[in-house]
Amino acid sequence: MPDDAHATTGSYVKAGAAFDRDMNYIPDRITRTGGAPLDDRAGTGKPSVEDAPTWPVEPGRYRLVAAKACPWATRALIVRDLLGLQDVISAGLPGPTHDSRSWTFDLDPGGVDPVLGFERLQQAYFARYPDYPRGITVPAIVEIASGQVVTNDFPWITHDLFFEWRDHHSPNAPDLWPADVRDEMEDVMQRVFTEVNNGVYRCGFAGSQDAYEAAYDRLWATMDWLEDRLKDRRYLMGETITEADVRLFTTLARFDAVYHGHFKCNRNQLTEMPNLWRYARDLYAQPAFGGNTDFDQIKQHYYMVQTDINPTQIVPKGPDTSIWG
């Protein structure tokens, strides 16, 4: 029987309509001094919100809440680890399933986050906005002392972990935003976000045949472009890892396990694209990427939560994820 505790039936697909992601997030930024940010481009295709509240960088003050099931949240976990910020910003890990109210800390003893003392991420949002009207999303950064959410604006979270928290990076942290390729990288990230990261959702949450087929064609045009781009380079921008690779990887890691079947992105599997498959496995072999990729949680999230697409909530046994290692 379907598990209604983990269902948000009907909340993803709007009949007859194309999927349109709500990109309205809490705009606050955590900046080096609590003042003006050091950098104001996050590869989002739009500028930072003017006059957005700012909070100061302070080790131990904040907790990153990020579910490994969620691609947008996994970005933040990967960047945190790449930059060596594990002892500077703690991480809370909700479980892979949730109901219409919130992500829950069901992986922790007693179902309570051991630092925040919360059962639901919703509590951090309501601590700051008692009538918060939007979705309770991850990643979210929470101020530990007050229990209040600071921001859930996922592109800016990883951007600011690099630029604003730089004083606390490990000595061997990679340059995720290299100045010499910055402009091109912004263009690459924008295309990856629009056509791949969000493109798979436009396929999966399409409310009509026409909307689905248009989304499908756009997705595969860019997947082919990426396959070609990677034929003579190790990573998207050359021989070193950048933010662009983090953003693409989290979609590729979910492609065969979820998006190929569940979201009907089924022209072919990732494993059948030699350059993208080599690239994805290269990243996965690195601890920050592989260590934050949990295929079981990924499958449980999509197949159990999105009951308007998968009403039986049956989670497929395949594919064989051992081939990643």
pLDDT single digits (tens) 266-323: 999 999 999 999 999 999 999 999 999 999 999 999 999 999 999 999 999 999 999 9
- Count Cβ neighbours within 10 Å for each residue of 99-129 and write b for 16 or more, e otherwise: eeebbbbeebeeeebeebebbbbbbbbbbbe
50-54, 105-109, 180-184, 206-210: range with lowest mean pLDDT? 50-54
Number of other CB atoms surrounding residue 133 within 10 Å: 5
* DSSP codes, 117-129: --SBTHHHHHHH-
Residue 319 φ then ψ, to 5°: -80, 175
Q: How much is the pLDDT for 15? A: 86
Contact 235, 178 (CB under 8 A): no
Catalytic pick from 25, 62, 70, 216? 70
Strand partners, 92: 65
Helix (H) or strand (E) holding 142: strand 140-143
Nearest to 165 by CA among 247, 89, 91: 89
Share of the chain above pLDDT 90, in %: 86
Nearest to 124 by CA among 137, 111, 108: 137
The DSSP bridge pattern shows strands 90-92 and 140-143 to be: unpaired
Question: Does residue 257 register a pLDDT over 50?
Answer: yes
Region 23-51: what's the mean pLDDT?
A: 81
Torsion sign over Cα 127, 118, 140, 178: positive
With H, G, I as helix, E, B as strand and everything else as coil, classify residue 46. coil
Nearest to 128 by CA among 22, 28, 24: 28
The string of pLDDT tens digits covering residues 210-229 is 999 999 999 999 999 999 99
d(CA 309, CA 301): 12
Catalytic pick from 125, 201, 259, 279? 201
Whether 132 is a known active-site residue: answer no
pLDDT band per the 50, 70, 90 thresholds, residue 50: low
Nearest to 236 by CA among 186, 274, 198, 199: 186
pLDDT band per the 50, 70, 90 thresholds, residue 17: confident
Residue 27 φ then ψ, to 5°: -85, 0
Residue 209, exposed/middle/buried by CB under 10 A (0-12, 13-18, 19+)? exposed
103 among the known binding-site residues? yes
- CA-atom Rg of the chain in angstroms: 19
Q: What are the chain's domains?
A: 29-168 (3.40.30.10), 181-324 (1.20.1050.10)
Whether 265 is a known active-site residue: answer no
Average pLDDT of every residue of the chain: 93
d(CA 324, CA 115): 33
Q: How much is the pLDDT for 164? A: 98
Number of other CB atoms surrounding residue 230 within 10 Å: 21
Question: Does residue 7 register a pLDDT over 60?
Answer: no
Number of other CB atoms surrounding residue 131 within 10 Å: 5
Nearest to 267 by CA among 225, 224, 299: 224
Share of the chain above pLDDT 70, in %: 94
